[in-house]
Structure formats: structure tokens, C-alpha cells
Amino acid sequence: MGNLQAPLPEGMGFISLPVVDFSLSHEEISRAILDAGKDIGFFQVINHGVPEQVRRDMEAVCEEFFAMPAADRESFHSDDNLKPNRFFTGSTYKNSGAKFWFDCLRLSSTFPIGDSKKDWPEKPEKLREVFERFAVQTRGMGEQLLRLLSEGMGLQPDYFEGDLGRGNMNLTLNQYPPCGDPEGVGLPPHCDRNLLSLLIPSTVPGLQFSYKGSWFTVETMPNAYIVNFGLPLQVVTNGMLKSIEHRVVTNPKESRRSVGVFITPTWDCLISPAEEFLSKESPPIYHAVTYREFYDMHGVVKDGLSSVLTISHKTAI
Ligand code: OGA
Ligand code: NI
């Protein structure tokens, strides 16, 4: 990893994320995930086994989606936050009304995907098939990663295969158009509310994470996935794994895209520190809430509130 300690002005530091190389031994992969997870909860996965063609097809269909006549996209448009499948502009978060500089196609699915894709856009013609293949492959990689992480923490490999990882998964296509305003914000600072986020960024930089008081711009190796831990992982591990704040800044000239698959708890799943992480020396630092409550509590972006774990015993709510 680059020098994380150097004090840098806002957004000026580019950083190569810690590397998790899936071609190494299980022990080495587990250790790399755990090391990165305890420090920043962000890393890049290489040699992940998702075929290059799957990614290329995904990029091509995303390009087609934005090249269609606007009316074809708008038919899927909705400002209703609760709608699982929709196209929208601005934000997924509740805030003071600020609109952010991004367009998003957000889809939801059971796993296996089955009939869920009938609720996805009909155009472009290949979208359903290409998104499905991408989601299956990406989620497969994510599940492998969770099994290795579990083993690394001394847990059963299927630890996250119950309610914690079995909610409907989300699929997103984010587009950040060029923005002339240097103050333009693509995505406001937030921590992810799902369990695990698996993201393919375009080569245009823009994603930043906050570490020791500075923003760092993420750089990845070609064909790598960016993976980051969501807040529920921090809670379950009683703070051992980190879910850190990140944002997307805009670019004056180029459009940036990213596609993501989000592994998510079921709505009724209890989000609380797991027994395995508790002891006399390590009492629970968060209290338990259902994922539905958790999601709602952490859906507000206002002066960095999203990064404050409001279920912390130290935080009055
Ligand atoms: C997100 C996110 C980053 C990106 O969707 O939660 O942080 O690069 N996306 O689009
Ligand atoms: Ni995010």
C-alpha cells in the first residue's frame, strides 16, 4: 500500500488499495482480507475468476443504456426511494434536499435471480441477460470472499450465508456526468448500509475514502474489483472490521461509471455484535436492531451523520 500516513490536502492523495489476490493460497487470501478489513475495510481483488468478457458485456450494455433515447430510460424513472427497481437522479439518501451529480439504475433481486429479472428494464434488449450473468459471477466471488473471511476469523465458512447475507441483493449502475462546478459532488460521504459491496469502477478516478482525517482517491489495477465492508459487518464483529466513509467527486471533463453488486441482510435480520466477538474484555459496543431499522437510521446524509453508527452504545439517539 502507498504511504497512508502522509498528511495530504483534501482529495489530492491517490492511493493504490491493498491487494487481495485470489490466485494465492486460502490462508494468504484470508489474511489479506482480514488485514485490510481491520484497517480500512477497502481493498481490490485481482485474479478473481470473473471472466473478462462478462465485464466487457456489462460495460457495453451500460453504454447502450445511456445512449438510448431519454424516453426509454425515463419510463423506468421514479423518485420513490422504496421502489426496488428504478432509474433516478440525485440521491438514495434522505438529506436536506441537495441533489447530487449522478444518475443511477438500481435493481433488486432474489438469489438465485429467477423471476426477479422480469422487473428489470426491457431495453436495451440484452440488459437482463447481461446483468444477470454479471450479478451471478460477482456474487459468487463475493460469497467466496465471505467464506474466506469467516475462516480467517475462526468462524464456520458459511457464517454469512444465513440471514446476514440472504436479503435481496442490489445491483447498481452509477453514472457521474462531467460537472463544471468544482464543488460538484457525485455521491455524498457515506458508509454502505449493506453487508458487502463489490464494485467495478471505470478508469476515470473519482471514488475517495476517508482515512485518518484526509480524503484519498482510489486507484485500482486493471480488471480489479473494489470491495468494501458495509456497516453491518462492523457491528457484527463488534468493531473489529471497519466500514469507512467514502464519496464520489465529479470530473470536469469526463463521465465516470461504476457497476456494483451489494450483498445485503434480510430485513428482519438482527444486526448486533455476534457472540463470537464478545468477551469480558470486549463487551458489546453496539446494541441490536433489525436490519430494517438499521437501514432507515443510516439513510440520512447530513453533516457526516451517515458515518456515525447511531446504534453505538456511546451515541445517544
Ligand atoms: C455506492 C458507492 C461508489 C462509486 O454505490 O455506495 O459508494 O464509485 N459507489 O460509484
Ligand atoms: Ni458506497
Q: Assign 3-class secondary structure to 18-81.
A: CEEECCCCHHHHHHHHHHHHHHCCEEEEECCCCCHHHHHHHHHHHHHHHHCCHHHHHCCECCCC
CA distance between the termini of the chain: 37
DSSP character string of 85-121? SEEEES-SSB-SS---S-EEEEEEE-SS-GGGGGGS-
In whole angstroms, what is the distance from residue 55 CA to residue 130 CA?
A: 9
Per the listing, cell 467466496 goes with 144
In a 10 Å sphere around its CB, with 0-12 CB exposed, 13-18 middle and 19+ buried, how is residue 310 labelled? middle
Q: What is the pLDDT of residue 4?
A: 41
In whole angstroms, what is the distance from residue 67 CA to residue 84 CA?
A: 23
Cα–ligand 2 centroid distance for 190 (angstroms): 6
Q: What is the pLDDT of residue 300?
A: 66
DSSP letter at 149 equals: H
Spatial contact of 230 and 243, defined as CB atoms under 8 Å apart: yes
238-251: buried (b, 16+ CB within 10 Å) or exposed (e) per residue? Answer: bbebbbbbbbbbbb
Q: What is the pLDDT of residue 7?
A: 43
DSSP letter at 316 equals: -
In whole angstroms, what is the distance from residue 39 CA to residue 218 CA?
A: 15
Residue whose CA lies nearest to ligand 1 atom number 10: 258
Q: In the beta sheet, which residues pair with residue 20?
A: 45
Three-class secondary structure assignment of 226-292:
EEEECHHHHHHCCCCCCCCCEEEECCCCCCEEEEEEEECCCCCCEECCCHHHCCCCCCCCECCEEHH
Q: What is the pLDDT of residue 3?
A: 41
Cα–ligand 2 centroid distance for 159 (angstroms): 23
In whole angstroms, what is the distance from residue 27 CA to residue 29 CA?
A: 5
Which helix (H) or strand (E) segment holds residue 151: the answer is: helix 127-152
CB atoms within 10 A of CB 210: 17
63 contacts: CB under 8 Å, gap ≥ 6: none
At residue 186, the 3 state secondary structure works out as strand
At residue 134, the 3 state secondary structure works out as helix
- Divide the 317 residues of the chain into consecutive groups of 10 and give the mean pLDDT of each group: 43 80 97 96 96 96 95 91 89 61 94 96 97 98 98 95 97 92 82 96 90 88 95 96 92 92 98 95 94 87 56 59
90 contacts: CB under 8 Å, gap ≥ 6: 99, 100, 102
DSSP letter at 127 equals: H
Q: Is the peptide bond before 121 cis (omega within 30 degrees of 0)?
A: no
Ligand 1 pocket test target in 171, 199, 245 with most atoms within 8 Å of CB: 199
Regarding the beta carbon of 172 and ligand 1, being less than 6 Å apart is answered yes
In whole angstroms, what is the distance from residue 127 CA to residue 275 CA?
A: 42
DSSP letter at 224 equals: P
Cα–ligand 1 centroid distance for 81 (angstroms): 17
Regarding the beta carbon of 174 and ligand 1, being less than 6 Å apart is answered yes
Q: What is the pLDDT of residue 250?
A: 86
Q: What is the pLDDT of residue 9?
A: 46
Q: What is the pLDDT of residue 10?
A: 52
Cα–ligand 1 centroid distance for 276 (angstroms): 30
Q: What is the pLDDT of residue 180?
A: 81
Q: Sign of the CA dihedral 139, 144, 149, 155? A: positive
Residues recorded for the chain: 317
